[in-house]
Amino acid sequence: MVIKALTLCAALLAPRSTGEDPHGRALHLKLYDSFDSSYEACVHTVKLARSTKVDPFMTTAFVYETSGFGGKKIKNKRFFKKLAKIYGCERLEETPRTSCSATTLAFFHLTDLLRKTDDYYEAICGAFEANSVCYRENEKRTTKTLNLARRFVYVYNRRFKRTVLNWAFEGTESRREHSSRPRSPPSPLSHLQPSENEDIVFFEMGDERKQLKFMSLVLGPGFQVNFEENIQQNNPRMANFYVNADPYQLRNRLINVANHTNERYFRKYQAHKLVFINETDFRLLFRSRSRNFSLKFVKSSNLYQIHVE
């Protein structure tokens, strides 16, 4: 059956400014970009689906869930920047019909997985990650997308009564739970965590390289901690560690770390409390069974020095 792209997208995206629909023929989906750009992205998606003979409703639902049919304003820009690198794009393009737009990249990503899995559920679940792995934490989102596809069929059927959805998972549970499926993507800082056999008592030993890893793990990927060797020998007021950070952002991150007192860093150290020295300087206290210590953050010009005390 040939799906009429213009009719489907008009039914999905018709703005409420045209008046309430007493017959429920429009979904009035939320627009993340202008109506013209969103409508063009939707039509482009349906036409791509028709040309490759994949289900247009599931494809459209996935593209909307990930990109919001956006051009300039994309629902998940970080995700599509990763896809752009994977598919050899220099940058993310705003025009929906180009090969490096969020719309086209989402479609390519999904159809590549469909060819590998021949299963819409597994393909959509894996397509939510740039590495194409279906994690358990994406199962609810996958079910939401498939239910959205079903709603697209219903709204289209109000005009064309014969449309059916190609449910590749018909007869199975709406949410597929697999104990063997990875629970969540690995942390971008997982390489900083020590192995089970590694000695982690490094503050007591003054191991500056491991202290650097510890600080990077605590502050997270949003802060780049740097290290300069032997700087304290020249000036005792200077620290070996420093980070370029906005005081407000650093303060919020430290507050978040201090509030999660049950979390263990390197399986040994726990945040105890955050002390405000003044408006820009902070001391984050840690404790362990062998020794308590603190990281003192002192603003110096446009950088923060980090002192281990």
pLDDT at 22: 46
CA dist 171 and 3 (Å) reads: 25
pLDDT at 229: 60
CA dist 282 and 293 (Å) reads: 14
Number of neighbouring beta carbons within 10 Å of residue 40 = 20
pLDDT at 161: 64
pLDDT along the chain (309 residues), means of 10: 77 67 64 84 88 88 88 80 82 82 88 85 84 79 86 78 55 53 58 53 68 82 75 55 84 85 77 86 84 85 82
For the record, the structure tokens of 114 come out as 């469909």
pLDDT at 168: 44
Identify which of 300, 275, 299, 293 has the alpha carbon closest to the alpha carbon of residue 215: 293
pLDDT at 7: 79
Strands, sheet with 282-287, edge to edge from the N-terminal-most edge strand: 225-227, 241-243, 303-308, 293-300, 282-287, 269-276, 264-265
pLDDT at 172: 43
Cβ–Cβ under 8 Å, residues 189 and 218: no
CA dist 76 and 79 (Å) reads: 6
CA dist 187 and 167 (Å) reads: 34
pLDDT at 171: 43
